[in-house]
Structure 1
Amino acid sequence: MSGELERARKRLDQAKARFQRAQAQERQRERKLDARRKIILGAALLALIKVQPAEKRARLVEALLKRVAAKDLPVVQPVLDEALRSET
């Protein structure tokens, strides 16, 4: 009986490992999809800002900057400044 029990334990451990790998792959797929969504939406938002009249463009950029974390400002600020300089 112990041999059968040992084989069952081994199959259970293998199934658990497969399940954990599948979960990790799903989390990775979701992270990639989330990053892709953010990139696409960010590009669309920048394009939208650039076609607005100057006054509205300034208000949009100001509203966005209020929602950006301080640590991210050095990365975001130059891009939004460029969007402000865009001509419609």
Structure 2
Amino acid sequence: MSDQAMTKPNANRCEVKVDGAWLVVSLIEAQGTYGTAEKRCPSCHGRVAVAGSYAAVVKRTLMHRRVHDGCPLISRGYCGTPSLHPEAVE
């Protein structure tokens, strides 16, 4: 896999599909402004959801809908070699 295919991991951002193009946005924007848009991991391109609370301290978490061992943003299951998600969204 080329270096361009895998972006530098950032657990505070995801990609949202707007008018047919993928935009990198913060998790807060993804959940608020782009709440109904399709979302994918910026690293492995797997489908994700944004979880979090609306408490005084805003905390958002990127959650893969289906975990795989090739995403560096999934620290517990990461195998050490980055790869696209088997069900990558393009």
Normalised TM-score (structure 1): 0.24
Normalised TM-score (structure 2): 0.24
The structure with more helix, counted as a fraction of residues: 1
Tell me: higher relative CO, structure 1 or 2? Use CA pairs within 8 A at least 6 residues apart.
1
The structure with more strand, counted as a fraction of residues: 2
